[in-house]
Amino acid sequence: MNSHQITRGDLLEALASPVALSACLALPSRPESVKTARDFVADQLARWGRPDLEGSATLVCSELVTNAVTHATSDPSANGCMVALTLVPGEALITQVADADPSPPVPRVTLSGTLAEDGRGLAIVTQLSAYWSASPRPDGKGKVVSAYLLTNHDTTGLSETVAVEPVLPDRTPSAGLPAQAPSVHPPTSECEPELPKLDLSTPSVARVCDFITGGTDNYSADRALGRRLLTAAPWLDRVATAARNHGQETVARLAAQGITQFLDLGCGLPQRHGRNTHDAAQRHRPESTVVYVDRDPVVQAHVRTWLAETPREQDLHADITRTAHLLHQPAIARLDRARPIAVLLHETLPWINDGKAQHLLETLRNWLPAGSVLSVIHAAADSHPESTPALAGLFRKAGILYRPRSLKQLLALVHGWDVDPPGITAVPLGGLHAVGGRTPLYGSYAFVARTPHPSSSRSRQDGAAGEAAVGGASLEVAR
């Protein structure tokens, strides 16, 4: 599909496709029907020559059948459900379960990282129309729940092209020497990139985000834009809070795994004590060090003042899109590249266009030492498609690029990285409900990726060119 969101119209169009293959099976509302549904899915996909799609499809179908059996009506004449599979080669697999319960669905499907090993087979569960696409049955006696699963792995075709710095060569360790990440030399054809000057009369991303999350380090221009954003998307503050909390949990988990060096790119304004990157890391590894990087002069001033009490941290005023210049700076040069480094891009890439974002990730992948990780939290373009254009338009009027991305677009950016299970996940918003589809269940996607081992990365590229290493999406639908 070419759209950046999955809608009911996409489902209907795919179901009506002349190349679609379909099969269905009627089942009684009994516990053993769950196993029968799984066997049916496995057999049918094998007949279609796509056993690689079995894992995710059987999980989704069995969960939906379990839901249908659990909520079966007491009317014997209405008992039973129907499982349907529709395969649109190269585009999608649609799984549907029709049952006699007319109420909204309550599936709780969590897809594990085993569902799409190295990006092969089923890529990811994408946004489901109206959260699982519940619709009335044609006979008026129940509902049909549809799950739309992407199978297209084409990660080419980024929507923008820009002139970028040359991509660094692949790591090629010399014989008899330990593997080392290559050095990055500063650009020779230009001076230090110009950074934005202090201007409190226009809004900045960091200060607007500070206002939205209830901070006090913002000014009238930031508050004016922030109020317009919250009018267009009243849930935006909860999205920002959920993303920040998820970032803290990720840093703590990485530190618990033994990583003690963190590079926080696009760090934003400092939070209260106990809620920053070094706080989360040092709770598990007190020796952890953090380099905070941002191009905003207000952020630089606050971080520099605030970090005077914390000698294990460094601040760097730099533009992360000028990656070669960035990685040559003394604050980053102090990192020990004989040990793993965690790079954090938490709600940073939405403010960077496709070409520069891709270049940043490629350069980091080639520069980072073995065992390093990349943590990304990214605004989701398809979590609430009704509001996304309005938000982007408000930022554009303020002279700010805002580029939330869909799952398909994130797949393109993450190509070449080894993504940890459970893959690209949706960051849930606690306490929100899906009924009516008016408030999104999530506002951001997140994943942790590893720098690929040179040999395994090369063999994957030879055997599966164009595929991205992605796991499943973890979404829970509440009533």
Print the SS3 string covering 115-184: HHHHHCCCCEECCCCCCCCCEECCCCCCEEEEEEEECCCCCCCCCCCCCCCCCCCCCCCCCCCCCCCCCC
Across the range 432-442, mean pLDDT stands at 53
pTM, two decimal places: 0.60
Specify the higher pLDDT residue, 468 or 339.
339
CATH number at residue 135: 3.30.565.10
Q: What is the pLDDT of residue 6?
A: 53
User: With b meaning 16 or more CB within 10 Å and e meaning fewer, what string describes 344-380?
Assistant: bbbbbbbbbbbbbbbbbbbbbbbbbbbebbbbbbbbb
Answer yes or no: is pLDDT of 206 > 70: yes
Answer yes or no: is pLDDT of 450 > 70: yes
Based on the fold, state whether residues 243 and 367 are members of the same structural domain: yes
Q: What is the pLDDT of residue 468?
A: 33
Across the range 141-160, mean pLDDT stands at 58
Residues 6+ apart with CB under 8 A from 318: 193, 195, 293, 295, 325, 326, 329
* Of the residues 104, 119, 150, the one at which a domain ends: 150
> Residue 187: which of 324, 40, 355 has the closest Cα?
324
| Cβ contact 122:82 at 8 Å | no
Compute the distance between CA of residue 436 and CA of residue 433 in angstroms, rounded to an integer.
9
Based on the fold, state whether residues 137 and 276 are members of the same structural domain: no
> Residue 262: which of 286, 288, 284 has the closest Cα?
288
Across the range 127-138, mean pLDDT stands at 53
Q: ω into residue 404 within 30 of 0, thus cis?
A: no
Based on the fold, state whether residues 226 and 351 are members of the same structural domain: yes
Specify the higher pLDDT residue, 375 or 129.
375
Answer yes or no: is pLDDT of 56 > 70: yes
Assigned domain for 295 exists: yes
Torsion of CA 215, 219, 220, 224, to 10 degrees: -50
Structural domain range at position 253? 205-463
Assigned domain for 189 exists: no
Based on the fold, state whether residues 219 and 350 are members of the same structural domain: yes
Mean pLDDT (the chain, rounded):
75
Assigned domain for 472 exists: no
Angle between helices 205-212 and 297-306 (to 10 degrees): 70
Answer yes or no: is pLDDT of 33 > 90: no
Q: What is the pLDDT of residue 430?
A: 61
CATH number at residue 399: 3.40.50.150
Total domain count, the chain: 2
Answer yes or no: is pLDDT of 394 > 70: yes
The size of the chain, in residues, is 479
Across the range 431-454, mean pLDDT stands at 69
Q: What is the pLDDT of residue 435?
A: 39
| Cβ contact 264:335 at 8 Å | no
> Residue 429: which of 283, 270, 233 has the closest Cα?
233
Least confident of 65-74, 236-245, 388-397: 65-74
Based on the fold, state whether residues 91 and 220 are members of the same structural domain: no
Based on the fold, state whether residues 106 and 234 are members of the same structural domain: no
| Cβ contact 444:242 at 8 Å | yes
Compute the distance between CA of residue 411 and CA of residue 349 in angstroms, rounded to an integer.
14
Across the range 85-113, mean pLDDT stands at 70
Compute the distance between CA of residue 185 and CA of residue 171 in angstroms, rounded to an integer.
15
Q: What is the pLDDT of residue 315?
A: 86
Q: What is the pLDDT of residue 204?
A: 93
| Cβ contact 470:116 at 8 Å | yes
The most distant pair of C-alpha atoms in the chain lies apart, rounded to whole Å, by 79
Q: How many CB atoms lie within 10 A of CB 461?
A: 14
Compute the distance between CA of residue 280 and CA of residue 247 in angstroms, rounded to an integer.
9
Block residue for tokens 């496995």:
42
Specify the higher pLDDT residue, 282 or 98.
282
Q: What is the pLDDT of residue 122?
A: 39
Confidence of residue 76 (pLDDT cuts 50, 70, 90): low
